[in-house]
Structures are given as C-alpha cells and as structure tokens.
Structure 1
Amino acid sequence: MARMQRLDVRGRTTVITGAASGMGAEVARELDRRGARLALLDRNADGLRELASSLTGTRHTTHVVDLTDDDAVFALAGGIEASHPHVQALITCAGSSMLGDIDQLTMEEMRWLMEVNLWGTVNVTKALLPALRRAPAAHITHLVSIYGLAAPAGRIPYAMSKYAVRGFTEALRHELEASSVSVGAIYPAGVKTGIILHGRFAAAIEPAVAERVARAGAAMYHTEPADAARRIVDATIARRARTMVGREARLVDVLARVTPNGYWRFMRRALRDTIDTRTPVR
C-alpha cells in the first residue's frame, strides 16, 4: 500500500468546530503556531473574538453558528469556501457531556446531547465535504472519546453519542477510501479542559451532587490540553485513521478488545465517584 500524502498546513485552511474554548481553542493555537489559516466555528461569539485576538495569524475567520441548526451549518459552508479557497482539513471539537443515569435523564436531555455531539458532527462534515474533495489531499479529524471505546454506567447519552460518532467516522472513512479525503478518529482520555465541569447534568440530580461528581471526574484528568492538541494536529497532518491520546485511552482500548463483555469489572472501581449521582452531599 502506498504511503498516504502528508498535509502541509502552512497557508492552507483548517476548519475547527468548538473553537471558542477547550480542545478546539488549543488545536487552533497549535495550528496557528504552524502557520495554518483557520476558519473557527462556535456558538460563543465572545469566546471566538477572544481566541482570534490571541492568535498571530491575520487571515483567520470566525463564524458564529449553532451546530444543531442544519440549515445554518450548510449555509455557512459556502461562506467559508468564499473566504478560504484552500480548505484541506476539518477538525470537529464541538461537544458537551451529560451526567445522570437512565432513571434521572429525560428523553429530551438525551436527545439534546445527541444533537450536539453526533448530528453537529455529521452536518458540518457533510456540508464541507465538497470543499474538502476539491483539495489534492484532505483529512477529516473527529474527536470521539475514550467512551467511544468503552461505555461506563452513568454516561448513557454521552457514550451513545460517542459510539455513534465512531461509527460515522469509520463508515465515512470506508466510503471515501478511493478519494483524496481521508478520515480519522481521535480517542482522548483525561484531558484537562474542564468539559465535565462545564457540561450538563440531568435536572433530576441535586446541583451539589452533580458538582461533587463532576469534580471527581475532573480530578482523574491528567493530560495537558496543549499536549493533546499537538497529538491531534500531528494525527491530522499524518492523516491517521486512529489515534489514542492519554495512557488511559490506550489501556481502555486494549481492555475493551481483550474482554469486551467484562471490561466494566475493571473500570467500575476507578470510576465509582464519577458516576454516583444518587448519594446526597452531607
């Protein structure tokens, strides 16, 4: 098999979703340092302005959009192409989390997270695919999660959405294998972005309990965002199909393969405090 052509990001455009904060902002900073042009997408206008003002590049653009609005996303794709004639990469970082077990969660809460994490990834990918196909070589990078490898209790909507993004990514990679567009998935574990502290929780959970659980989860995150961003950008440039970020991701990947029906026995104890949304705060 011929070696896949690497991307040269200098002067060429990468589109980043969820760019106003978290991993999206870190990936933007890393690509800016490498001389890329950026189209930065988020629903947070203030966050986008703050990020853009901190970057050294002068040809970046910011785009305020709600990724759950399909019409807005597809309309935006034309505007990005008009401003960026050489779109060669898409990195989807937008997403949220949701705490709660099946009895605490409502159908509306679970559907909301699926809209953000799954359909917000699918629609921007589909909208930008024509532009990516026009590049001599292009790559789509989807941030999945360690919970797209193994599904813990207490994270049903999050795991559902991430397994779905994984399936979408792999199927799309197979569909596009004869084209100039490659597709890859990133499986981060324990990146200190604060996503779990800023995520949502089922309305049925007492706020004090939700805060305790979120802080217990955040305490388990060890990977620095800048380190994760370098791995994500390197994987995009190399057009890798599968990249683990963090030692926990590598461990869980092996564990889920070796014992697909028993991995939870090994994970339950470590995650106990991060999924206990029932015990009152005393």
Structure 2
Amino acid sequence: MDNKVAVITGAGSGLGAALARKYSNDGFHVCLLGRTENKLESTAKTLPNKSYSIFSVDISSKKEVANVFANIKENLGSVNVLVNNAGVGVFELAEKLTEDAVHQMIDTNLKGTIFCTQEILADMKEQNSGSIINIVSTAGLEGKETESVYCASKFGMRGFHESLLVELEDTDIHVFGAYMGGMSTEFWDGILDESVTSGLMDPEDIADIIYHNASIRKHLNVEQVVIKNH
C-alpha cells in the first residue's frame, strides 16, 4: 500500500502507453485502463517496472468507472496521479456525423474524463495532494474542419479542466492540461494516409514534455502547455 499509484486511461497505445512508461520508470504502480485488454497487455510488456495492473473498462459508463476505481483504492490505495488521456475521434462534415459517432465522442472524451476525475477528487482533497493531468488537444482551443463534434467534446473537456483549476486553487492538488496537435499514433489509422502521419509529432516526445511539465515542484504550478507541429 506504500506504492505511488498512477492511473492512465487510454493506456493501450500511443501517448497513454508512452506516459505509462514514464510513470513506471519513476517507480509508480501504473494502472492501465482501456477498452481492449490485449492492447493493455502489450503496453504492460514495455514497462520498465513490473508493478502494474490492467483494467478493461468503458470510461463512458459511470458504473464501470466507479467499480474500477473502488477496486484500485481497495487493493492499491489512493490514486496519486490521474491521467485523463482516453479519446476517440470521428472526422466528417457536421451534417454527415452519425448519431453513434456523436455519442461516442461526447461520452468518451468528455463524460469519461468527468467520471474518472469524480472518483479521485474526495481522496485527493482529504490528503491535499495529487495530480490530475488532462490530455485535451489543440481541438480544445480552436474549431477545425471535419472536427466539429470532436472539438465540441474537447472544448467541454477544457471547460471542465479550467473549472477544476478554480475549484482546487486553494489546495495542493495539481491540475495540468496538455493541448497538443496531431501525433503519429494509431488514432489516425483509416483516417489519414501514412504520408501525412509520418510528419506528425512523436508520442514519446509529447509524453516527455507532459511528464516534466506536470511534475510537482515547490511554489509553482504549470496549468497548461500547448504543443504544436511545426
């Protein structure tokens, strides 16, 4: 129960997997959360520290999220770091987006972030410590063509993030937001050609920037970082 515990959603690939390796290397017990168990197991094999747990969960379900976080608290102790990283995107002109696509983006990107954060706030407030890291994307800063609902979900996530900063400003809980452009990950499979994705940012670089900026330091708080392709 003495382990530092980091919970990372969307840990099966890309940025989530890269951040899992960062926290694992720093001695955290890493809880890998995602929909697909075999992808989480693939991430687990790359961790430098073999102290980890895997939880298959649909974060858009309040009930599933509550069950997973109760399990984590009971077996591992309080969560020290929560990384809200899971996200889905369906890119199409606004009038062509299906109802299912709209629900999927709002439910995972926005509601999932809210549900996971709700589960750890009481403990973090009681202990007056902890970090909440919200992976928002530059889609939370500006509207983009064929990304109307994706942007809407990320603008919502940004609103939640900025409100948390206000709610927690008198505490020692650290709230950090990352707004980054496109990364070369499987997120874009079937959406962008490899000729495009090869010019996108490396998730390992992004993880490095987020990890170091989100580290807790005396007398300062980095509230957000914007990372763009050049």
Gapped regions of structure 1 (runs ≥ 5): 1-9, 198-210, 249-282
Classify the secondary structure of the residue corresponding to 1:25: helix
Aligned partners of 1:140 and 1:182 also within 8 Å: yes
The aligned residue for residue 222 of structure 1 is 200
Match of 2:14 among 16, 22, 32: 22
Report the CA distance between 1:135 and its aligned residue. Answer: 3.7
Query: Larger Cα Rg: Structure 1 or Structure 2?
Result: 1
CA shift in 2, pair 1:54/1:225, >3 Å: same
CA shift in 2, pair 1:76/1:219, >3 Å: closer
1:154 equivalent in alignment to 2:146: yes
Classify the secondary structure of the residue corresponding to 2:86: coil
**1: distance between equivalents of 2:123 and 2:35?**
22
TM-score of the aligned structures, taking structure 1 as reference length: 0.74
1:245 equivalent in alignment to 2:210: no
Classify the secondary structure of the residue corresponding to 2:192: helix
The aligned residue for residue 49 of structure 2 is 57
Aligned partners of 1:196 and 1:218 also within 8 Å: no
Report the CA distance between 1:25 and its aligned residue. Answer: 0.5
Q: For 1:154-193, list aligned pairs within 5 A.
A: 154-193=146-185
Report the CA distance between 1:245 and its aligned residue. Answer: 2.1
**2: distance between equivalents of 1:158 and 1:217?**
23
Classify the secondary structure of the residue corresponding to 2:96: coil
Structure 1 stretches (4+) deviating beyond 6 angstroms? Answer: none
Aligned partners of 1:88 and 1:135 also within 8 Å: no
Aligned partners of 2:200 and 2:229 also within 8 Å: no
The aligned residue for residue 96 of structure 2 is 104
Aligned partners of 2:178 and 2:224 also within 8 Å: yes
Q: For 1:72-221, list aligned pairs within 5 A.
A: 72-197=64-189, 211=190, 214-215=192-193, 218-219=196-197, 221=199
Report the CA distance between 1:34 and its aligned residue. Answer: 2.0
**2: distance between equivalents of 1:23 and 1:154?**
23
The aligned residue for residue 32 of structure 1 is 24
TM-score of the aligned structures, taking structure 2 as reference length: 0.90
Report the CA distance between 1:117 and its aligned residue. Answer: 0.7
The aligned residue for residue 13 of structure 1 is 5
Classify the secondary structure of the residue corresponding to 1:103: helix
Classify the secondary structure of the residue corresponding to 2:215: helix
**1: distance between equivalents of 2:196 and 2:19?**
20
Report the CA distance between 1:188 and its aligned residue. Answer: 1.0
Aligned partners of 2:5 and 2:29 also within 8 Å: yes
**1: distance between equivalents of 2:223 and 2:76?**
25
1:234 equivalent in alignment to 2:216: no
Report the CA distance between 1:216 and its aligned residue. Answer: 7.4
